[in-house]
Amino acid sequence: MKICSVRTELVYVPRLRAYDKVTLTALGPADLSEYGLVFIDTDEGITGIGEISTVFFPHGRLLCELVDETLSSIIVGEDPFRISYLMGKLDEAITGAEPAKAGIDIALWDIVGKALNVPVYQLFGGMVRDRIPLSYSVPFGEPEEMAEFAREKSAQGFRTIKVKVGQGAEQDIAAVRLVREAVGDERRVRVDANMAWHSPKEAISIIRAMEPYHPELVEQPLPRRELDGLAEIRRQVSVPIMADESVWNPQDAMEVIRHGAADVINVYVAESGGMQNAGKIFAMCDHANVQTMIGSMPELGVGTAAQIHLGIAMNNLCLDSDTCGVLYHAEDVLLTPLRFEDGYAFPPDGPGLGVDIDEAVVERFRQPPSHN
* pLDDT for 371: 55
Nearest to 101 by CA among 346, 273, 356, 338: 273
Helix (H, G, I), strand (E, B) or coil at 8: strand
Nearest to 2 by CA among 39, 43, 40: 43
- Domain-by-domain residue ranges, the chain? 3-122+358-364, 125-346
CA-based diameter of the chain, in Å? 60
Q: Same fold for the domain at 3-122+358-364 and the one at 125-346?
A: no
Look at the domain 125-346 and name its fold. Answer: TIM Barrel (3.20.20)
* pLDDT for 368: 86
| Residue ranges for the chain with pLDDT beneath 70 | 371-372
* pLDDT for 182: 98
Helix (H, G, I), strand (E, B) or coil at 143: helix
* pLDDT for 83: 98
Write the pLDDT tens digit of every residue in 78-95: 999 999 999 999 999 999
CATH number of 3-122+358-364: 3.30.390.10
CA–CA dist 309, 205 (Å, integer):
39
Q: How many helices (H) and strands (E) does the chain have?
A: 14, 15
Query: Are 302 and 116 in contact, with CB atoms under 8 Å apart?
Result: no
**What is the side-by-side strand order in the sheet with 241-243?**
135-138, 160-164, 188-192, 218-219, 241-243, 264-267, 291-294
Query: Are 58 and 31 in contact, with CB atoms under 8 Å apart?
Result: no
* pLDDT for 286: 97
- 315: Cβ–Cβ under 8 A, 6 or more apart, which residues? 128, 286
Convert 276-310 into a string of H (helix), E (strand) and C (coil): HHHHHHHHHHHHHCCEEEECCCCCCHHHHHHHHHH
Which letter does DSSP use for residue 124 in this model? Answer: T
Nearest to 48 by CA among 356, 358, 328, 371: 356
* pLDDT for 78: 98
SS3 content of the chain, % helix, strand, coil (to 5): 40, 20, 35
CA–CA dist 191, 202 (Å, integer):
15
Nearest to 229 by CA among 217, 246, 254, 248: 246
- 287: Cβ–Cβ under 8 A, 6 or more apart, which residues? none
* pLDDT for 372: 45
